[in-house]
């Protein structure tokens, strides 16, 4: 009986692997929520969450989520922050343009659809860029070009990633009666789960350019 219990609780057992994944997802999610509270740091926190989830996938959840998150946050901070500020500025300009053209009416009213298209493209690019930023070391312009490459290589996948990450948030606010439950789920695991799926979709293309985990361990 003791051997069965030991085998059940072993790290290599199905239960042990499941617990490791739960720890990685919940730990990474809690770190993301805490580091996103200043709002301005949401960009670096999202890049760090991407880094944590990619490490979890490549290491089969055998990671310390707090340690990996902090490393990703520290390494990506400046580039992720600069891009996030740019996104916020463009978002404000876009919203102002939409409100202005809606009030003007006439042919200008159609201009807002072009703004919607630009903001949608910016959203998709951003949600691909942060995993790219977490996976590769380079300058911000080079990382943006890489994100455009990976998004353009499979546009449907890029749109799917945006839907996976934004869709549940939109649905959350469409059902306000259950908002406390949804807020709890987002706080515990929601952001990490959607980011985990996004990283799963992108990593097959990333792996062509990344070193194998065992090679990274040898260098360390």
Q: Is residue 93 predicted with pLDDT exceeding 70?
A: yes
Instruction: Tally the domains of the chain.
Output: 1
Residue 7 located in a structural domain: yes
At 8, the pLDDT band (50, 70, 90 cuts) reads very low
| pTM confidence score | 0.89
Residue 167 located in a structural domain: yes
Residue 220 located in a structural domain: no
Give per-residue pLDDT as tens, 186-206: 999 999 999 999 999 999 999
Burial code of 58-72, b = ≥16 C-beta within 10 A, e = fewer? beebebebeebbbeb
Summary mean pLDDT of the chain: 87
pLDDT at 213: 61
Region 169-176: mean pLDDT is: 86
Among residues of the chain, what percentage have pLDDT more than 70? 88
pLDDT at 1: 53
Residue 48 located in a structural domain: yes
Structure tokens given for 148: 């455009």
């Amino acid at each position: 009986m003791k051997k069965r219990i030991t085998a059940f609780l072993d790290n290599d057992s199905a239960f042990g692997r499941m617990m490791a994944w739960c720890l990685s997802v919940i730990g990474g999610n809690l770190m993301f929520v805490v580091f996103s509270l200043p709002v301005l740091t949401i960009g670096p926190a999202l890049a760090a969450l991407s880094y944590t989830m990619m490490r979890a996938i490549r290491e089969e959840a055998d990671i310390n989520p707090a340690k990996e998150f902090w490393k990703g946050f520290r390494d990506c901070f400046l580039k992720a922050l600069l891009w996030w500020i740019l996104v916020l500025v463009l978002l404000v300009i876009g919203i102002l343009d939409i409100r202005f053209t809606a009030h003007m009416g006439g042919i200008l009213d159609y201009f807002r659809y072009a703004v919607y298209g630009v903001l949608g493209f910016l959203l998709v690019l951003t949600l691909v860029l942060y995993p790219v930023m977490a996976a590769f070391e380079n300058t911000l312009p080079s990382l943006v070009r890489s994100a455009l490459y990976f998004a353009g290589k499979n546009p449907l996948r890029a749109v799917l990633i945006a839907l996976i990450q934004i869709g549940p948030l939109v649905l959350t606010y469409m059902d306000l009666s259950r908002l406390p439950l949804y807020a709890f789920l987002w706080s515990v695991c929601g952001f990490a789960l959607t980011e985990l799926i996004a990283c799963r979709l992108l990593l097959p293309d990333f792996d062509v350019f990344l070193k194998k985990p065992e090679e990274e361990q040898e260098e360390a």
